[in-house]
Amino acid sequence: MGHAMKRLLVGFAMVAMAATAGAATAAPMKGAAWIPMVSAQLSPKQRQAIVDQIVRKWGPFVESVHKTSANAWAKRMGGTFAAANDANLQRAAGMKSFQGMMDALTGQQVSDARVMDSLATQARVLGSSPHQALLGSTASDLVYTPIAPCRMVDTRVAGGPITGGTSRGFRGYTATDFSAQGGTSSSDCGIPANPSALMLNVTVVSPTAGGYLTVFPFGTTAPLASNLNYGIGTVAGNEIAAKMTIGSATDEFSVFAFGTTNIVIDVVGYFMAPVVTAVDCTTVSSSPMVVPNTGHAVEADAPACPVTYTLVSTNCAMGSDVGVINAVGGGVCWGLSSVADTLVAQGVCCRVPGR
């Protein structure tokens, strides 16, 4: 480990010492699930050793997967390491999955097996696949439709603040209205069933603790990312494209709050998969070309395809079908005949209709 990393770890230990000094037992994070101590209270030196272990173990993973240097990640994690109680810090060090380690630090009751199941579900929901996306995919090549801003969520009206360290599910589509979660009671906001994603204006109102929000598909593991950062008592907002869980019988998306806060969400647009329709084709033909009986080949060129169409095949025809014809390609034909004849070149032009 380099000197810079060692200085970071020493700094984390000092913060951790201040966080735990004078406490008989380590207190749980505000709003996080309480996990019983798995050993006696840790000394500052022991906490430093555990933080060191976590950074050494997951630093290479962060650099490879998240394209962030281990030093930069360790520095950003300083506050999280310091806020974790002794039990959660020890549980995090023993986790075998990165997401499980992050969840354990914030006091969530997780296991590596549960994390793996959630990641598998997320992969299915997001349509993760090594194969090329197909037309009509619910995860790629989506069509965006803007709508007039419409209130979808207001926890001040229904549900109350989201407790720090927890997630809450919300509807992204309804056949009636969004009054059950504090939104409009007069419409469905014009959102069709099973949207792939929603464009949302998310605002925190009067948070009682600083933190961040993460919006993610319902039923999946919250990613290691922040959509909105906030401080105590502030009003802050951000516009985000939020992926939905398609076909859910309950909720379509979830919101994780690191610090307790009310939230207000307005939807301003939605993303849907392109509608799969029949290919639109048309045929363009050349004027008949006279093929003499001299044994010389004659070339015929089909007209260019109309704008937005693409040539997909070339057809050639002789008037009396007694000669030799050949499609050169690109709308070009040639013909040879022992008698006078005519030659026509045809181009088949097609396009894929949009939504």
Q: What is the tens place of the pLDDT at every residue in 256-269?
A: 999 999 999 999 99
**Residue 12: is its pLDDT beyond 50?**
no
**CA diameter of the chain:** 109
Both tokens assigned to 280:
């639109």
Residue with tokens 């590596």: 112
**Residue 85: is its pLDDT beyond 60?**
yes
Q: pTM, whole model, 2 decimals?
A: 0.48
Given a contact cutoff of 8 angstroms between Cβ atoms, the answer to whether 186 and 179 are in contact is no
The string of pLDDT tens digits covering residues 86-126 is: 888 888 888 877 777 877 776 666 565 655 555 444 444 44
What 3-state DSSP class applies to 179?
A: helix
Both tokens assigned to 86:
């002794």
DSSP code string of 320-332: SS-SEEEEEETTE
* 35-51: average pLDDT: 71
* 215-223: average pLDDT: 89
**So what's the pLDDT on residue 330?**
79
pLDDT band with cut points at 50, 70 and 90 for residue 37: very low
Give φ, ψ of 86 to 5 degrees.
-60, -45
Q: Where are the alpha helices (DSSP H) in the chain?
A: 3-20, 44-65, 70-76, 78-83, 86-94, 98-105, 112-125
**So what's the pLDDT on residue 205?**
94
pLDDT band with cut points at 50, 70 and 90 for residue 169: very high
Best-predicted range by mean pLDDT among 155-159, 221-225, 328-332? 155-159
Q: Which residues pair with 265 in a beta bridge?
A: 153, 202
pLDDT band with cut points at 50, 70 and 90 for residue 40: low
**Residue 304: is its pLDDT beyond 80?**
yes
**So what's the pLDDT on residue 177?**
94
What 3-state DSSP class applies to 263?
A: strand
Both tokens assigned to 11:
């700094």
